[in-house]
């Protein structure tokens, strides 16, 4: 327990200063040296985890739809949300996998999870890499960053609750906007720029895909569009009962809500748009390491080590716990590494709410 004490940043610690202060070179060097052997993804873990999560998720969804016992339906729905959420988060791993390192995994994930849930991987590929670019992180060019801690307090609940409408918006995007945009070029430009990425920065505009990625984008978007049209047609004609469709939407909304809550505490969101050093980018990001167990539910697939992931984005999710233990043991008490580790979800939410309240009043 004493060894773990320095591994947890107190809730009352000093507010993070977003101005670049240079890098903790000892931490960066140790991070590279201690993890050289951890960069290869284990195919068995990836396939078993992704497929197992999808099977549990869809099985629980089917139980929630077909049972008429309300408590059982609620429990099954909750299990479905957690399992499909975990399966869905492999979209993050797909964006970081080197080409050819896990053959067939991206195709299988899109077939099992991405297209059925209307979040094909092209919506994250090419977007998430920009978030990791050292010169873009936390700036207006970062599609995945908003200075939430510096914005008005009401933006936090709006940010979270907007996720509940995401499944309806995604179905409309693929079932209606995709076919219409193929006939109306100005609409196509709007769809590509504004509605083709899982970004949170409203100022970000996506560029049209090129080359092989454009071909992949095309088949993924086409598959999601056909699925959306087919699903709505089956609901309209009674082939899929309205009750079943609404339960599907409720589970999908739960998945999106849970992901939005995780996003809310993935960073401290305290940068005002200026470029940051690598160490300051790390300190603006969050780890929630053991001994707490709940983070495995709300930040699975390695995302409880989000700060470490920003430090070492090439390490597969299953190797992050080992990397964290090595760095925690190796780095001295004065290392910046320990300052990005936090106790859990609610202290982080509380910190962000306090920062937003103070920042909003100051603004």
Look at residues 24, 14, 13, 9 and name the one whose alpha carbon lies nearest to residue 341: 9
- Residue 324, pLDDT > 60, answer yes
What's the pLDDT band for 21 if we cut at 50, 70, 90? low
- Region 173-202: mean pLDDT is 96
pLDDT number for residue 204: 94
- How many distinct structural domains can be found in the chain? 1
pLDDT number for residue 363: 52
Phi, psi values for residue 2, rounded to 5°: -65, -40
Domain contains 279: yes
Cα(311)–Cα(330) distance, rounded to whole angstroms? 16
Domain contains 17: yes
- Residue 167, pLDDT > 90, answer yes
Instruction: Read off the pLDDT of residues 52-98 as tens digits, 9 standing for 90 and up.
Output: 999 999 999 999 999 999 999 999 999 999 999 999 999 999 999 99
pLDDT number for residue 333: 86
Domain hosting residue 10, numbered range: 2-40+275-362
Cα(115)–Cα(40) distance, rounded to whole angstroms? 27
- Residue 346, pLDDT > 50, answer yes
Task: Take residue 180 and report the two structure tokens written for it.
Answer: 């219409």
On whether the pTM is more than 0.85, the answer is yes
Domain contains 118: no
Instruction: Read off the pLDDT of residues 103-145 as tens digits, 9 standing for 90 and up.
Output: 999 999 999 999 999 999 999 999 999 999 889 999 999 999 9
pLDDT number for residue 134: 87
- Residue 161, pLDDT > 50, answer yes
Domain contains 202: no
Domain contains 130: no
Cα(289)–Cα(8) distance, rounded to whole angstroms? 9
Domain contains 33: yes
> CA dist 124 to 23, 95, 127, 180, 211, Å?
29, 7, 5, 23, 17
Buried b (16+ CB within 10 A) or exposed e, 231-252: bbeebeeeebeeebbebbebbb
pLDDT number for residue 100: 85
Domain contains 310: yes
- Region 169-179: mean pLDDT is 98
Domain contains 150: no
């Amino acid at each position: 327990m004493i060894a773990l004490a320095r591994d947890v940043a107190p809730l009352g610690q000093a507010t993070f200063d977003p101005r670049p202060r240079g890098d903790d070179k000892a931490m960066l060097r140790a991070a590279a040296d201690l993890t050289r052997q951890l960069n290869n993804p284990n195919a068995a873990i990836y396939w078993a985890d992704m497929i197992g999560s999808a099977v549990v998720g869809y099985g629980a969804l089917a139980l929630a739809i077909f049972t008429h016992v309300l408590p059982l339906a609620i429990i099954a729905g909750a299990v479905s949300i957690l399992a499909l959420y975990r399966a869905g988060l492999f979209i993050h791993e797909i964006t970081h996998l080197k080409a050819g390192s896990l053959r067939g995994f991206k195709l299988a994930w899109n077939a099992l999870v991405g297209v059925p849930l209307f979040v094909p991987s092209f919506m994250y590929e090419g977007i998430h890499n920009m978030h990791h670019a050292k010169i873009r992180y936390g700036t207006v060019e970062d599609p995945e960053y908003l200075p939430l801690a510096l914005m008005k307090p009401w933006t936090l609940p709006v940010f979270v609750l907007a996720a509940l409408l995401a499944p309806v918006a995604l179905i409309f995007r693929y079932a209606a906007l995709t076919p219409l945009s193929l006939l109306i070029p100005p609409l196509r430009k709007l769809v590509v720029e504004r509605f083709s990425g899982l970004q949170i920065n409203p100022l970000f505009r996506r560029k049209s895909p090129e080359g092989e990625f454009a071909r992949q984008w095309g088949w993924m978007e086409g598959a999601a569009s056909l699925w959306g049209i087919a699903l709505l047609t089956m609901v309209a004609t009674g082939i899929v009962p309205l009750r079943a469709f609404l339960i599907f939407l409720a589970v999908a909304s739960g998945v999106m809500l849970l992901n939005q809550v995780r996003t809310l505490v993935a960073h401290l969101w305290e940068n005002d748009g200026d470029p940051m050093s690598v160490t300051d980018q790390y300190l603006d990001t969050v780890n929630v390491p053991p001994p707490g167990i709940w983070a495995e539910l709300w930040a699975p697939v390695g995302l409880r080590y989000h700060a470490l992931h920003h430090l070492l984005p090439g390490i597969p999710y299953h190797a992050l716990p080992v990397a964290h233990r090595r760095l925690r043991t190796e780095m001295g008490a004065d290392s910046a590494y320990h300052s990005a580790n936090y106790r859990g979800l609610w202290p982080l939410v509380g910190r962000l709410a306090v920062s937003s309240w103070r920042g909003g009043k100051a603004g």
